[in-house]
């Protein structure tokens, strides 16, 4: 099982509950399956977690996603000619086997609005001396993140332009939540799983 961790909001408010008020560094994190952070971050970048009302004309999940893409600016780092932009086109061109030109354009437009700067790493001093780019992209991680984003949206049926959804006065977040509840609900044979991991670093003045 491959998992990842990330800080869970303000950790300091839990220090007293854990009886660790005197702890100098206290971080409370959340464990999720690997790729979770990239996917949820992309949903935020695309505006699917927005509290704005969904227009009545967006009566399928694909139209809902399209409306958010149209309302979101392309990230400059993802434009044509950049390292990320080239990889975006590479992923868009091969996703779903042999996608149509319209699908490629849709996937490209979608990924161009996701902020991938967390996958850009600083160059070494030697590379700087050779006048290479100030930043470089972790291509393997970027490809993996892009594929995971497309796969998750596909799984939640955000590429489906046939199945109708009840929009009413719902927000984008409402409909994203409904899509998740529909596809991720546990069946009778499923098992929920909770993982807890604790790490303690103790400094004793007597050992100095």
Tens-digit pLDDT profile for residues 139-162: 888 899 999 999 999 999 999 999
Distances (CA, A) of 105 to 52, 92, 146: 26, 8, 15
The pLDDT value recorded for residue 84 is 82
* 8 Å CB contact between 177 and 170: no
What pLDDT does 135 receive?
56
Question: What CA–CA distance (Å, rounded) separates 38 from 27?
Answer: 21
pLDDT score, position 119 = 81
**Domain assignment of residue 178, yes or no:** no
Q: Is residue 22 part of a domain?
A: no
- Residue 192 has what pLDDT? 83
What distance lies between CA 196 and its chain's CA centroid? 23
Q: Among residues of the chain, what percentage have pLDDT more than 70?
A: 91
Domain that holds residue 74: 35-169
N- to C-terminal Cα separation, the chain: 39
- Please give the Cα distance from 63 to 157 (Å, whole number): 11
Residue 89's pLDDT band (cuts 50, 70, 90): confident
User: Is there a domain that residue 143 lies in?
Assistant: yes
Over residues 33-76, the pLDDT tens digits come to 889 999 999 999 999 999 999 999 999 999 999 999 999 998 88
Is residue 134 situated within a structural domain? yes
Domain contains 192: no
Q: Classify residue 48: in a domain, yes or no.
A: yes
- Report, as an integer, the average pLDDT of 172-176: 96
Q: Assess if residue 68 is contained within a domain.
A: yes
pTM above 0.85?
Answer: no
How many structural domains comprise the chain?
1
pLDDT tens-digit series, residues 191-207: 888 888 888 887 777 76
Q: Are 17 and 11 in contact (CB under 8 A)?
A: no
Q: Tell me: the pLDDT tens digits for 104-134?
A: 999 999 999 999 888 876 655 555 445 444 4
Does 132 map to a domain? yes
């Amino acid at each position: 099982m491959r998992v990842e961790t990330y800080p869970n909001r303000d950790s300091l408010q839990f220090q007293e509950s854990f009886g660790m008020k005197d702890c100098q560094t206290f971080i409370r994190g959340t464990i999720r399956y690997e790729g979770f952070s990239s996917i949820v971050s992309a949903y935020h970048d695309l505006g699917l977690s927005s509290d704005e009302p969904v227009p009545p004309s967006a009566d399928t999940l694909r139209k809902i996603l399209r409306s958010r893409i149209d309302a979101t600016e392309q990230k400059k780092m993802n434009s044509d000619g950049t390292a990320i932009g080239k990889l975006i086109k590479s992923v868009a061109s091969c996703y779903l086997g042999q996608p149509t030109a319209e699908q490629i354009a849709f996937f490209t437009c979608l990924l161009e609005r996701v902020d991938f700067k967390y996958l850009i790493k600083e160059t070494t001093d030697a590379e700087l001396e050779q006048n290479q780019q100030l930043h470089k992209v972790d291509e393997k991680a970027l490809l993996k993140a892009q594929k995971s984003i497309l796969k998750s949206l596909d799984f939640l049926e955000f590429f489906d332009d046939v199945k109708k959804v009840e929009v009413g006065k719902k927000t984008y977040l409402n409909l994203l939540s409904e899509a998740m509840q529909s596809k991720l609900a546990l069946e009778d044979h499923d098992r929920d799983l909770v993982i807890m991991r604790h790490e303690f670093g103790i400094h004793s003045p007597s050992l100095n």
